[in-house]
Every structure is written in C-alpha cells, then in structure tokens.
Amino acid sequence: MPDRIYNFSPGPATLPQEVLAQAAKDIVNFNDKGIGLIELSHRSKEFMAVAEETEALLRELLNVPDNYKVLFLQGGASTQFAMIPMNLLGPGKKATYLNTGTWAKKAIKEANIIANADVAYSSEDSSFNHVPDQSDYTVDPESEYLYFVSNNTIYGTQFHSFPETDKMLVSDMSSDILSRRIDIKPFGIIFAGAQKNMGPAGATVVIIREDLLDRTPDSIPTMLRYKTHADKGSMFNTPPCFAIYAIGLVLKWLKKMGGVSALEEMNREKAALLYQAIDATDFIKGHAQENSRSMMNITFNLPSPELEAQFIQEGLAKGLDGLKGHRSIGGIRASIYNAFPRQGVLDLIGFMQEFEQKNG
C-alpha cells in the first residue's frame, strides 16, 4: 500500500496535501507562538484574524455580494433542513421543494414538521437518476422559496443550470460548492457542509441575504435563529475553530490554483475522462442520465453485486479507497472533488479497464 492513497470517499473527503501538512504543524505550534491551533481561544486576536481571513477569502472566491452574511455554524448541513423553514416560514406559509435524492427527502420531511413543503417534482420512481428540466415542474405561486439540492452525492446527479423562477432560491450545495462559478444573487440562502469540498467535518457554511434575518418568527429558539449568529459574526458561542481554520487553508490553496474558474475547468476534465471510460464499455453502466451527470460524484454499476464487491476490494489493494456506493443503492461511487488529483482518476480508469479484461 502506498504512503498516500487516492481517497474517493464522498465525505469527509480528500484535502490538498499541503493543507494537511500545514494543519499538522499548526495543531502543535500555531505561527510559532508556542500554542496549538486547537488550544487557541476563539476570542483571541490570533483566531479572530483566522476567522476574518477565511470569510474574506470565501467572499472573494464566490463573489458574495455585500448584502449577504457568511456564517460558520455547527450541526451539519442536516440542521439547516430545519433551520431554513424555521427562519423563513411562519404559520400557514409554504415553500416548493424538488425531490432529487436522499438529502432533499430529509429536508422535505423537516419542512413539513414546521410548515408546508409543496413537492413540485420527484425523481424517486427512477431511483433518482436525473434532475428535472425547467419545464418538468411548476412552483406554487404562494411559495416563499424554491428549495433544491444542487448536487446529489449518493446518486451522482447535478443541476447543470439552476432553476429560473421569480421566487427566491434556497440550495444545499454541500457537495459542489466552490467547484464551479455561480451567481449568488438569485439565492436567499446557500448552505454547505464543509467536509466535501471545503475542509474537514465540523463546520457548515451558510450564505444568507441580510433582509431574511428579520423574518424569523419570535417562537424560534435563540440558537436556531440566523440573526443570532449574524449579529455576533458566528461567535455567539464557541465556533468550530479547527474546521474554520482548515477551510481557510483550503481557500488559500484554491486561490493559488487560479480560483473557482480554474478549478471548474479541472473538474470538468476529470469528470469527462471518467465518463468516457464508462461509456466506452457495456461492462460498466452509469447510474445517472447523461444530461444530469455530476462532476463531483460519478456513480456506476458492474454486472453483479459480487463483481462490485470484488472491484472495491481489489481497488483498495491498489490504493483506490472509498469506492463503495452508498448503502441505499450499492454499486460504485467515485467522488472527485476539487482537491482530488487528475492522476487518481487516470489510475482508476486503468484499474477499471484491467478489471474488465479479467472479469468481463
């Protein structure tokens, strides 16, 4: 087994090696101050500088408008499934949701506990193998917002273009944030768990339009109000310090690589190489429909579950880790986020071809 394997895990996912090296150093002795990063007070000037720089980098790389707040929260993206309707929907109000996978279903469930989620479209009958076209659904005119998951990690599908509607957009971008250029202005809220494309587990980034902070009903508890965290610069309580610091390192790396536009080109090339290998044979079958294929999570099946298990085991022996598909659908899944190297994709393709020659 090589010292550094290729990590195809959907999250926590691979990080740039230079980020890992710097973090390892700073955990023990941050900036040669004789104290470890994870020991620093979140109120110290040293950590406050880290948090401010991380936010500034994220704003720069995503071109976040001035009338949006950037929050670093805890509770994972799953907590946002409830926080969004709690903050944006009062009694009797509704929102429209697009059901394109497991995480959308979970968000719909939480929204229905609090208010009313109108499900305008679902691809569940086809095992979530596609996302809808604009003409496939209608947004309820009484809806406060349209909610969708931009990239469906489990099923390997992605919105190549975002919905167009006069309603405010809300999106879970946990698995493709920073992987392509986006226009934030149509969105009221974008949120993302850090552990796929931004850093380690522990922090969830929320980008929220400022005017929405005052829409929260009085009945919502303090910690579950976006305004609580916005007013205190994400420091109302002790934030996920290490995760925020590591996100900052990843953002510095991303900027050095040329920013989001440069990473988008690299991501498109990596995904195209892998999809070409899938389409070149009948031995391997991709799960997602071609017009919905994800750049981040490539899902496919072999002729039998037994061959898939063998593929995963033999791949691991070659340093190709994390290829097992989600337990809900099985198969194979290769997650190739921003920090995943092109050479790892080429090595996987070589192994796929070798495996087919032996077992096809």
Catalytic residue annotation: 103, 172, 196
Give the H or E element holding residue 298.
strand 297-301
**Residue 164 amino acid letter:** E
Q: How far apart are CA 326 and CA 203, in angstroms?
A: 23
Taking Cα atoms as reference points, which of 107, 183, 188, 114 lies closest to residue 149?
107
Residue 287's SS3 state is coil
Residue 331, CA atoms < 13 Å, CB-side half-sphere: 20
Residue found under tokens 């085991």: 313
Residue 319, CA atoms < 13 Å, CB-side half-sphere: 12
Tokens coding 283: 């031995």
**Residue 200 amino acid letter:** P
Residue 209, CA atoms < 13 Å, CB-side half-sphere: 15
Q: Could you please report the per-residue DSSP string of 120-155?
A: EEE-GGGTT-----GGG----TTEEEEEEESEETTT
Q: How far apart are CA 290 and CA 277, in angstroms?
A: 14
CB 75 within 8 A of CB 240: no
